[in-house]
Each structure stands twice: as C-alpha cells, then as structure tokens.
C-alpha cells in the first residue's frame, strides 16, 4: 500500500514511552489486516529495555497495513501501522472449511484373520491382538529450542554490562530478628485489617536500610560513566526487585525515606501486583537510587546480587529461619536459645564503596533491627 496517498491521521506512530526510552522491539501484533479497530484499543505489544507494554490505536477504522514486523526494532516516532476508514470497507470473509468426515472403522471378518493360538483365552468382543504400549519413561524426550523474550534478553545484557562496568564485591552479616518477630506476631492481624496487606519482614528491612542510609551516603549514590563524578542522592528512591511473568523487574518507590512501615508495606505490595499483572509502566521502573532484592522469599539464605547500574549498592535479604544461637547477656551466664535469624548481604561498587563502608552499613542495619520497632511505628 502506498501510504503517501493516505491522510496523515490514518497512520499510527510509536508514542513516547518514558524518559530514556529511545527504541522498542515489536513482540506481538494483537490485530491483523482487515480487523476492525476502535480508538484506544490495544493494537500491538512492544518491549523496552525494562518492560513490555501495549500500544493502542489512535484511530478507529480497519487495520489496512502493518508497517513493522514482529521482532523488528524501531525508534520512538516510527510509523507502525495504517488504519483506513471503515466506511465502505467490507470485512474479510472467512469461509469455514468443513472438517472431513472419517468413516468409522469396520470390523474385520474373522475369516480373513490368521488363526489365533490363544483364542480360547480371548473375550468374545476381541477381534485383534493389542500390542503393549511402551511406558512414558522409556520414551526419550527431544530437546527443545526457544527464543529468549525481549525482556529476558535485556536482563541478560544489563547484568553482563553491570559486571563489566563496576568492581563488585559482596559483604554478608547475620541479624537476630527476635524483636521484629514478636512485634509481627502481636500485631499482624490488626495490621492486615488496617492496611489491607500482610505484615512481612520486608518492610522492616526496607525501613531499617532507609534509617541508616543517610549516614552511609556512598551506598545511595551514582557514578558517572567516566568515573570522574559521584552523585550523593539527598533522597532515596527505593527499588524493589520483583519476579514477574516476563522476568525480574525493579519498580521504584519514590522518596521512600518519608514512608513509615505501613506505607512501605502498601507501596511494595502495590508495585509487586502491578509487575505480576503486567501493568507496570516505564516511569515506575526509572530513577532508583538504592535497591533491595528479597531472595529469602524463595528460601535462599543469602545471595550475591548484581548492582542495578548506575547505583552503587544493592541489599539482599535472606530467609528468616530459626537457629540455635549462643546468647550472653551482661552479668549473665552463657545460654543457648532458638531465635529467628537472617543473613543480610550487600553488593557494592568497590570503585566508590570500600569494604569497611559496606560492613559499617550492615552493622548499623543489624543494630537498628535488633533494637526493634514499636507498635506506633506500624501506624504511620
């Protein structure tokens, strides 16, 4: 189709999808040529560096031509499709092909079958010998090859780039969560009724990190590409790693330092729901200054997470498990107790963060968590 003879308004263009998004990959067309389309009806799906999203039609009519094929990468502003006026356009006629009728099998006359040695042992209804079917375990499974999704390819590229760009190390420390566990046990029902979300350990980890980050500003910072300047962020825009149906994504909670435990719990739950429902936007994935990945949600004791560039650190929170630990209180004999314990790990960019800095940050987090929070902290 010669698009030059069509009015400009009949062409659907790729809109701006967020700061820093210059190009996308077309992953799937939701309409085919000849299909009727309404304004704002999803027309195709595209993948950016961070998220998949739908592009809606800006015009009503009939999809006349697709200009960009699946798996093709285009720049913002590119023409995607041509929508023709539905006036006078007849929809494509689909003729159903009748399913061929397969004649029912006819019984084979006994006279044409070879004599059977075991005929007395067969039922009267049997006419043929049934061969044994091999068990599924005996049948080898064939290899399968699948293309990586655009999001998965982006994750792979960004992880390799992160390791190549910065000098990354990980420090691990163990924390006693007895005080936090007691508080959760006493108030989890009221918290759920008040906020609508469950009270997990994650908002406590987030709040503790936010409490101590101002004194360890090199972990809430960004280096420029030339490694000549560092930005120490005045506020913490907290990224939370979330596993979604299309891969790992990191929605950002803006100005998280201003939020209490209840608000953090609600914000984390809402962001995670948007990722898992494929409703997250590009804007919600940009601008993070510090990230937490809760590997303990899948039972991992600790991890060595990869930094989300250009940030300088990422905190990993391990599973909370009961362990036998020695306890020595002042002026008291040594005793053995079972306590809820967890490992905290922080991967950091050694170009700007020293090992002592990472250890001091984790130690400050440990002290904050072990000193505990109060019921009043759960209200705000």
Q: Which of 107, 109, 130, 132 is nearest to 118 (CA)?
A: 130
Contact 251, 239 (CB under 8 A): yes
Specify whether the backbone of 312 is left (phi greater than 0), alpha (psi in -120 to 50) or beta: alpha
Enzyme catalytic residues: 350, 354
For residue 160, the cross-strand partners are: none
CA distance 11 to 69: 15
- Rounded to the nearest angstrom, the gap between the alpha carbon of residue 261 and the centroid of all alpha carbons in its chain is 23
Contact 187, 373 (CB under 8 A): no
CA distance 237 to 240: 10
Q: Which of 247, 224, 215 is nearest to 166 (CA)?
A: 224
CA distance 277 to 305: 25
124 CB contacts (<8 Å, ≥6 apart)?
none
285 CB burial (10 A radius; 0-12, 13-18, 19+): buried
Contact 363, 173 (CB under 8 A): yes
Contact 24, 151 (CB under 8 A): no
* Residue with tokens 């994750």, as numbered in its chain: 155
Contact 43, 31 (CB under 8 A): yes
For residue 343, the cross-strand partners are: 174
The token duo for 259 is 């939020």
CA torsion, points 270, 276, 280, 286, in degrees to nearest 10?
A: 90
Q: Which of 1, 379, 2 is nearest to 194 (CA)?
A: 379
Strands 61-66 and 36-37: antiparallel
CA distance 376 to 19: 39
């Amino acid at each position: 189709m010669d698009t030059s003879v069509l009015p400009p308004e009949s062409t659907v263009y790729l809109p701006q999808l967020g700061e820093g998004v210059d190009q996308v990959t077309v992953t799937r067309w939701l309409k085919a040529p000849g299909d009727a389309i309404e304004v704002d009806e999803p027309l195709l799906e595209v993948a950016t560096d961070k998220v998949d999203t739908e592009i809606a039609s800006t015009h009503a009519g009939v999809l006349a031509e697709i200009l960009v094929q699946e798996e093709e990468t285009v720049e913002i502003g590119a023409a995607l499709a041509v929508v023709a006026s539905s006036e006078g356009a007849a929809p494509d006629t689909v003729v159903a092909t009748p399913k061929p009728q397969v004649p029912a099998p006819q019984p084979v006359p006994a006279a044409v079958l070879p004599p059977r040695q075991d005929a007395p042992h067969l039922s009267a209804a049997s006419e043929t010998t049934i061969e044994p079917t091999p068990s599924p375990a005996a049948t080898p499974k064939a290899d399968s090859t699948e293309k990586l999704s655009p999001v998965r390819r982006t994750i792979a590229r960004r992880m390799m780039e992160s390791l190549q760009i910065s000098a990354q190390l990980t420090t691990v420390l163990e924390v006693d969560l007895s005080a936090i566990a007691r508080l959760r046990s006493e108030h989890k029902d009221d918290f759920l009724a008040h906020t609508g979300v469950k009270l997990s350990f994650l908002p406590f980890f987030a709040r503790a990190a936010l409490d101590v980050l101002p004194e360890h500003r090199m972990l809430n910072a960004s280096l420029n590409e030339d490694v000549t300047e560092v930005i120490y962020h005045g506020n913490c825009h907290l990224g939370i790693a979330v596993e979604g149906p299309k891969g790992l994504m990191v929605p950002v909670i803006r100005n998280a330092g201003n939020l209490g435990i209840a608000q953090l719990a609600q914000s984390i739950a809402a962001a995670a729901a948007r990722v898992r429902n494929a409703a997250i936007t590009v804007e919600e994935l940009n601008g993070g200054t510090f990230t937490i990945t809760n590997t303990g949600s899948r039972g991992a004791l600790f991890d060595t997470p990869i930094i989300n560039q250009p940030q300088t650190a990422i905190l990993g929170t391990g599973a909370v498990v009961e362990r036998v630990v020695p306890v020595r209180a002042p002026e008291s004999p040594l005793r053995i107790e079972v306590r809820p314990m967890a490992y905290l790990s922080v991967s950091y960019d050694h170009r700007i963060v020293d090992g002592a800095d990472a250890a001091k940050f984790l130690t400050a987090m440990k002290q904050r968590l072990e000193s505990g929070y109060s019921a009043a902290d759960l209200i705000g």
